[in-house]
Amino acid sequence: MKQLLLLAIVLFPLLTLPSAESKTVNGLTIDLIHGDSPLSPFYKTKTATIPNNGDYFMKIFVGTPPVVLHAIADTGSDHISVQYSEAVSQCRYSLSSYREKSITEGDLVSDTIRFGSKDGPLLTTPKTTLECGNLNTENFKSIGKGVVGLGAGPLSLVSQLSDKFGHIFSYCLLPHNVNSTSKLKIGRESTIPPFLAVTTTPLVPASRYTAVLTGVSVDRDNLKPPRSLRIVIDSGSRLTYLTNPLYGHIQTAVADAVDFEAIDNPPAPYSLCFALLRTDFIPSITFHLSKGDIHYPTSNILVKVGGNLCLSIVPTNGISTLGSLAQTNLKVEYDLQKKTVSFAPADCTKE
């Protein structure tokens, strides 16, 4: 009997490239598809009242013959974990998800991973170690077909490919309503072009990509936390989460700057929504990092929820997180050797 297994994929540095490209390839480019995009295999024709979590999926091919799978590109994860439907040999391991306390246990096997098209893969890893789960909680099952970890841990995709292509990667995320694919670039070709206005800030030592947020400006009102706030940069989270009292100051400043009354009882997890579809009333918002600023257009700050527009920054009692909505139409580059992250406004359709 076939059972649904969770595989965590460890990519070995032994790579096979098509011979015509082997002398010129300086990196790897992978399409990312927003879960709410019409291009997504998980697209629903009827718009939900509460939008999708904002996941961006990549297509991969596992095994021989290759099985097509879709997995979330997630900078908040250090493993590559996908659901699979073949029983495999026995060996034990455990894997946890930091965000939702999900646990899986499973087996270790070796298989082939391909990126690109099924008939002509761009890159093949012929000796790939697969960690496969046979105890899956509902949280792991609900995320789709799995997660491609882009974190700095040794088992992530970027770490396993870094010796081949360089210790650098970037992505440029498109909004869900754009009928095109976003791009993930691994290696030297991922660098930000010199003509873009770049903000580069250090990554602080942490288990996930973490920067220091020194304050947030709403129009000219510079709001500062009691002390510098650590914020995780997470492509696998849609919204931006900030702890109080900073979040409370931002909500008050935005509400005071808008000439319209906020709605009562906004849908969770949102705390500030307006019964409007126009965006010209929202004040400018700037995140101040330890080195440099990120100036956000309203499209990065607002999210449509039913017939309302809601502030995509929400409060949390946990970890402050910069979500994918705040990263759309930005070129975001991680340099794992310099331990920096860079942000540059960009037209992601041209990537």
The average pLDDT across 129-138 equals 46
Ranges assigned E (strand) in 203-335: 210-218, 221-223, 229-233, 240-243, 273-274, 285-289, 293-296, 302-305, 308-311, 313-316, 321-322, 330-335
CA–CA separation, 15 and 230 (whole Å): 36
Domain ranges of the chain: 5-190, 199-350
What is residue 216's predicted lDDT score, i.e. its pLDDT? Answer: 97
What is residue 337's predicted lDDT score, i.e. its pLDDT? Answer: 92
Asked if residue 163 has pLDDT above 50, the reply is yes
- 77-86, 187-196, 252-261: least confident range: 77-86
Q: Provide, rounded to the nearest whole percent, the portion of the chain with pLDDT above 70.
A: 71
Task: Give the mean pLDDT of the chain.
Answer: 76
Q: pLDDT (tens digit, 9 = 90+) per residue, 215-245? A: 999 998 999 998 889 999 998 888 999 999 9
Which has more pLDDT, 296 or 69?
Answer: 296
CATH number assigned to the domain covering 5-190: 2.40.70.10
Is residue 131 within 8 Å of 293, Cβ to Cβ?
A: no
Asked, colleague to colleague, whether 5-190 and 199-350 share their fold, the answer is yes
Q: pLDDT (tens digit, 9 = 90+) per residue, 21-35? A: 333 467 788 899 888
Model pTM score: 0.82
What is residue 153's predicted lDDT score, i.e. its pLDDT? Answer: 84
Which has more pLDDT, 189 or 224?
Answer: 224
One DSSP character per residue, 46-76 reads SPPSS-----EEEEEEETTTTEEEEEEEETT
At 129, is the secondary structure helix, strand, or coil? strand
Which has more pLDDT, 272 or 12?
Answer: 272
Q: Nearest to residue 341, comparing CAs of 78, 97, 151? A: 151
CATH number assigned to the domain covering 199-350: 2.40.70.10
Asked if residue 107 has pLDDT above 60, the reply is no
Q: pLDDT (tens digit, 9 = 90+) per residue, 317-329? A: 999 999 999 999 9
- 76-80, 107-111, 164-168, 220-224: least confident range: 107-111
Q: pLDDT grade, residue 58 (50/70/90)?
A: confident
What is residue 93's predicted lDDT score, i.e. its pLDDT? Answer: 37
